[in-house]
Structure 1
Amino acid sequence: MSPSEERAESSDHFASAMEAVRPDRGLCVPQLREAVTRMEEGRLPAAEKLTQQFLAAHPRNIEGLQLMAEIATRLEDHVRAEALLARCLEIQPDSVPVRFAYANALLRVSNPAAARDQMEWLLARDPCNPVFRVLKPLVLEALGEFPEAVECWCELTKEYPSRVDCLLRYGYALRTVGARDECMRAFRKVIALAPSSGEAYWALANLKTFRFEDAAVAAIEAQLAGQHLEAASRVQMHFTLGKAYGDRQLYAESFGHYAKGNALQRMGLGHDPEIANSYVARCKSIFSSEFFEQRAGWGCQSGGPIFIVGMLRSGSTLVEQILASHSQVEGTRELFELAAIARELQNRLTRAGNGYPAALAEAEAGVFRDFGEMYLERVKPHRKLGRAFFTDKMGANYAYTGLLQLALPNAKIVDVRRHPLACGWSNFTQLFAKGQNFAYRLSDIGRLYRDYVELMAHFDRVLPGKVHRVFYERLVTNPQAEVRALLNYLGLPFEESCLSFHKTARAVTTISSEQVRRPIYSEALDGWRAYEPWLGSLKTALGPVLDAYPEAPAFP
């Protein structure tokens, strides 16, 4: 069989499998058909309103409930989508499309243990279905079972060697477990099969230590010169060339490609910097010293979690790897559970009309105890080693510092901070998998960094000693002193293994996975300086935060 015939057969097999799990949108019902049309046109509120009207008259209609779940998913209201699909399963427990959609919804709300149950049901029903077989490693990855996921992807790529999507996922999984050479081979195979795959080129660039040959740079330039490149691939190739020209010290060309890639990426993305600024102001008005004193002793009293927070690209993966090298600490990953449960809590508390975080002032002690216990229960699947402490490296959890003090008052919070220009530039050069809409404009990055510093400075005042701060530059230049101070804050004895963190074998899912498998190095400290002529808008947005670093300026 020729490669083209092989690809066609593979595509047909997957297409028929996808058809089997495609939900019935109720196109025979005029009202639902109109709702689907509006949804596909991007008019989601209108589609939602029509579907709600239909469900008011037909509350147990499966097609209507599934359509509402799909609309909720597109609106990124994943909690509501999961609840709607759970209702569908109650009505039609044997529906394969509903169960498949429900499994994916459970992954989106960070409940991989429940998603595994659905995945196993589907595979028991049809063990050869390639769509269900793809779902399996996705669930395993969400559970942190990366070696098992690698095996699944390996089997799929052998059976479907021309499936670019499976090869890409296989490459990402190999990277996570540190199999760098095999990972690069997978991505190179994607490029051979699909030369216009910007994702494969960016995946190689995102290894950070990878260097592109001149022939590869020329091939990418040729692709960009074409008229039919997909929008996502065009963005990815600009970011890739930004990295490639930066490695060649051609900084003007490098910045030009980063600027083009960022400009294209932020098209259609909504980001309002005032939202974060307003949130900080609301937190400062609610979370006072008196507020916490009145609620002393509340929450779940477990001291196991160590939350590593801060801006993206601040050095948090390095701190996590150092802690994971301690005999009493288990390193997990960026866990989505806290944010998912916080959204559920916010939805529940704000129904009475109070906004968040103001609604926390009205909540009883039991609400926060339940929150803490639910978090610990949800993260159990990620804890494999039975150690007393574990890390949660979701950096954006800094926004929940006040909530954590109420729900898990004995948990530790480690705030990792990097020079604002180094951190800001690193964000601008990174094409994130999803979200992080702030990262594609230098001024937006600067404003968010400033808001983050202001929020954490507030908690330093009202909860003195609660948060331990690690400055990346100090950690890199004087690791022993900084590691000792960090372990002292955590109440843990010093262990030499923490300084040999690069020898610790574990899965690392973040962008910095390659860097933390090397000893501490200082090259990243001043990489931004070559681009300083183009960082004016970042400096302006940072304002006094830049001048005061590493201290925080006086905020109103």
Structure 2
Amino acid sequence: MKSNSNKYKQIQQLISQKKFNESLTCIEKNKKDLSKLDYFFLKSVAHRYLHKYSKALILLSEVNKISPTYGRSYQEFGHNYVKLNNKDMALKSYTRAVRYNPALQASWLGILGLSNADKSLIELADKNIIYLKNLPPELKSVLSFIHEGKLQKADDLCRFFLINSPHHIEAMKLLAIICKKLHVYDDSEFLLESCLEFDPENVDIKIEYIDTLLKRQKYGIALKTARDLYKDNPDKLSCMSILAITLQQTDNQSEAKTLYKKILDIDPNNYQSMVSIGHLYKNIGDIDKSVSMYKKSYNTNRYFGDAYWSLANLKTYSFTDKELNSLEEMVSDEYFQNDEKIYMHFALGKAYEDLKFFDKSFSNYKTGNELKLPNTKFSIDEFNEECKNQIGVCTSDLFEMKNNWGHKSREPIFILGLPRVGSTLIEQILSSHSMVDATHELPNILATSHKLNLRRAQSKSSRYPDILLSLSAPQLKLIGENYINDSEVFREDGQFFIDKMPNNFRHIGLIKLILPNAKIIDIRRSSMSACFSCYKQLFAEGQEFTYSLKNLAYYYNNYVELMDHWNKVLPGQILSINYEDLVQDFDDSVKTILDYCKLPFEQSCIEFYKSKRSVKTPSAQQVRQPIYTSGLDYWKNYEPYLGDLKKYLKY
């Protein structure tokens, strides 16, 4: 629920007029017109001004439960702790505030006012205060809206500002960031290119530009731009970092590792880079070195949750008693930030799972998911509507009318379904064939659907999938051709290549219109097994439906029904593989997959685990081992806790 804006402004005005008791009365009177977050937040502000700091802190804890990343609540924590003369907690609070919302100038000023802030933090505060002081008030609001996730407001205000100041570089950059967050990457790219026309040496804009190029899969120009930027700024850590990231994403693993190590030579306490190096070792199967880097990271910063989750996510690491005790101590600290606790709860869930303490394991998975859920934007209703629209638009008549209109390439093999159900195993089997290249979970199809949508900000009106009805043969062919060309950077000399983005099942209609000869493999597991496997996985990005058992059940139901539709309107064109059948009758299943892809049999596909290629998914270690069947009914260890999942699943 959103607050009534007039009531909210009325209360704000009372507070600004120092009518604090009157504001509290007004808050209670209009409670039903306020969101829970605003209700508790406004009450906390009023209580602070009334010098009731302990009460204010209790109210802010409620705000934190509702929105763990709301920067303004941490700013209020800081103000209260300053009044209570608790400098350590004040500094932690202000630091968290600007981490979530760098537009909070009062928090940067609060950091400068504390004697316990270190030199690097003071320098960062000075830099940001200068930046914010020079920023027009409208753009300060835009920046704040961006970091609070209010992208519609940010978009509207930024565009309005640009009407009167069309060449304002910072406004164009902020609008580009908004577009990027909304996955409208082509607009973001255009805006940043325009910025660089006016200010070609602006390092911050170039870094945003490279990041956008990576999002658009323009890996060639991204790598060239990143190399040039680093060449011109060899001592800037930000330029080293964006080049290292670009090298990593373009499979230049050795060069990326060298650059990350150089970053550590300059900044030996850069614990994020330690984890990045650990990921590089993990991808190539050097687990001992991977473990060493993850441990080095948490030894540098004990509170860096990603290091612990990265260890757990190896799927083979066993935590020591000392590590478990340390994790338990940190997650029990009520003042410890929730975003780090999320990583730690998932790590504890995996650790206790390995110890067969399933009660403790599920408790931690549940808490991790509950902390993560408020930061997600998945809507069951919107997903239901999306699936209904696909079924309504992509009919047999559409495919008959536009049969073979798209690009005629037979190169792509799409592996899709839910995450964590066996897609990496299928990929490893196929990529072990001499004629097949593995690529990535390519976001190209998702990006194409966003581009076809042409939906500005968060407007409810959309053109996709309806636009598929009006696209001409040349248009469909061009979109397919662009997809093939954009994948080139990841390919070697194979005749075919794999795209294993699981969410592509939502866009099979688009795929078959632009690439009518593409092969599509749908890999699925039994519903309980598939859903629980997702629930206990903390994803690096996306897959926001996985952090609630109810959402998972509804997503799975829609997935089955949408796949039933695709099989009905595209008979015989999709290969469905059941994971349980695959692992129990492996050799025959492999032959079925190869026959469908029109590939001759090769023994290397049976011995897929001998492949030395880089694997970048959570299953990286599992697919380096021979087939095993022990995990098929593993979810049953958690059956007493999965009532909601059973309740809502239909299949």
Query: Considering only CA atoms, is the larger Rg found in Structure 1 or Structure 2?
Result: 2
Superposition map of 1:186-205 within 5 A: 186-205=293-312
2:252 and 2:504 mapped to 1: Cα distance?
23
* SS in structure 1 of the partner of residue 429 of structure 2: helix
Corresponding position: 1:49 with 2:156 = yes
What is the aligned partner in structure 2 of residue 489 from structure 1?
Answer: 596
**Which deviates further from its counterpart, 249-258 or 17-26?**
17-26
1:73 and 1:179 mapped to 2: Cα distance?
34
1:122 and 1:181 mapped to 2: Cα distance?
34
Conserved in 2, the CA contact under 8 Å of 1:238 and 1:260? Answer: yes
Aligned with 2:475 (options 359, 362, 367)? 367
- How far did 1:36 drift? 3.6
* SS in structure 2 of the partner of residue 413 of structure 1: strand
2:354 and 2:523 mapped to 1: Cα distance?
27
Conserved in 2, the CA contact under 8 Å of 1:100 and 1:118? Answer: no
2:505 and 2:439 mapped to 1: Cα distance?
18
Cα distance change on mapping 1:40 and 1:447 into 2, 3 Å: closer
**Which deviates further from its counterpart, 121-130 or 76-85?**
76-85
What is the aligned partner in structure 2 of residue 324 from structure 1?
Answer: 431
Corresponding position: 1:381 with 2:381 = no
Corresponding position: 1:112 with 2:232 = no
Q: Deviations over 1:229-262 (max 9, x none)?
A: 2212211111111111111111111111111111
State the TM-score, normalizing by the size of structure 1: 0.90
Superposition map of 1:257-296 within 5 A: 257-296=364-403
Conserved in 1, the CA contact under 8 Å of 2:396 and 2:570? Answer: yes
Superposition map of 1:46-445 within 5 A: 46-347=153-454, 355-383=463-491, 385-445=492-552
**Which deviates further from its counterpart, 14-23 or 257-266?**
14-23
* SS in structure 1 of the partner of residue 375 of structure 2: coil
State the TM-score, normalizing by the size of structure 2: 0.78
Q: Deviations over 1:143-185 (max 9, x none)?
A: 1222332232233334432210110111111111111000000
Superposition map of 1:435-474 within 5 A: 435-474=542-581
- How far did 1:270 drift? 2.1
**Which deviates further from its counterpart, 388-397 or 217-226?**
217-226
Conserved in 2, the CA contact under 8 Å of 1:25 and 1:32? Answer: no
**Structure 1 letter corresponding to 2:632:** L
Cα distance change on mapping 1:39 and 1:304 into 2, 3 Å: closer
1:19 and 1:343 mapped to 2: Cα distance?
39
Conserved in 1, the CA contact under 8 Å of 2:391 and 2:565? Answer: yes
**Which deviates further from its counterpart, 498-507 or 126-135?**
126-135
Conserved in 2, the CA contact under 8 Å of 1:14 and 1:131? Answer: no
1:332 and 1:15 mapped to 2: Cα distance?
43
1:130 and 1:456 mapped to 2: Cα distance?
47
- How far did 1:26 drift? 8.5
Query: Any unmatched runs of 5+ in structure 2?
Result: 1-117
1:364 and 1:349 mapped to 2: Cα distance?
24
Conserved in 1, the CA contact under 8 Å of 2:449 and 2:464? Answer: no
- How far did 1:41 drift? 5.3
**Which deviates further from its counterpart, 496-505 or 36-45?**
36-45
- How far did 1:132 drift? 0.9
Cα distance change on mapping 1:42 and 1:403 into 2, 3 Å: closer
* SS in structure 1 of the partner of residue 631 of structure 2: helix
**Structure 1 letter corresponding to 2:316:** T
Q: Deviations over 1:354-391 (max 9, x none)?
A: 632111101111111111111111111111x2110010
* SS in structure 1 of the partner of residue 201 of structure 2: coil
Cα distance change on mapping 1:306 and 1:229 into 2, 3 Å: same
Query: Any unmatched runs of 5+ in structure 1?
Result: 1-10, 546-556
1:415 and 1:147 mapped to 2: Cα distance?
34
Conserved in 1, the CA contact under 8 Å of 2:528 and 2:645? Answer: yes
2:610 and 2:307 mapped to 1: Cα distance?
28
What is the aligned partner in structure 2 of residue 526 from structure 1?
Answer: 633
Conserved in 2, the CA contact under 8 Å of 1:349 and 1:360? Answer: no
Conserved in 2, the CA contact under 8 Å of 1:310 and 1:398? Answer: yes
- How far did 1:425 drift? 0.6
- How far did 1:334 drift? 1.0
**Structure 2 letter corresponding to 1:481:** D
Conserved in 1, the CA contact under 8 Å of 2:281 and 2:290? Answer: yes
1:19 and 1:109 mapped to 2: Cα distance?
34
* SS in structure 2 of the partner of residue 263 of structure 1: helix
Cα distance change on mapping 1:37 and 1:456 into 2, 3 Å: closer
Cα distance change on mapping 1:493 and 1:16 into 2, 3 Å: farther
2:187 and 2:577 mapped to 1: Cα distance?
37
What is the aligned partner in structure 1 of residue 59 from structure 2?
Answer: none
* SS in structure 2 of the partner of residue 523 of structure 1: coil
**Which deviates further from its counterpart, 245-254 or 89-98?**
89-98
**Aligned residues with identical type, % of pairs:** 34
What is the aligned partner in structure 2 of residue 503 from structure 1?
Answer: 610
2:184 and 2:496 mapped to 1: Cα distance?
32
* SS in structure 1 of the partner of residue 166 of structure 2: coil
1:15 and 1:139 mapped to 2: Cα distance?
30
Conserved in 1, the CA contact under 8 Å of 2:184 and 2:451? Answer: no
1:25 and 1:275 mapped to 2: Cα distance?
37
**Structure 2 letter corresponding to 1:363:** L
Conserved in 1, the CA contact under 8 Å of 2:431 and 2:437? Answer: yes
1:26 and 1:380 mapped to 2: Cα distance?
45
Conserved in 1, the CA contact under 8 Å of 2:454 and 2:463? Answer: no
2:174 and 2:547 mapped to 1: Cα distance?
32
2:125 and 2:473 mapped to 1: Cα distance?
47
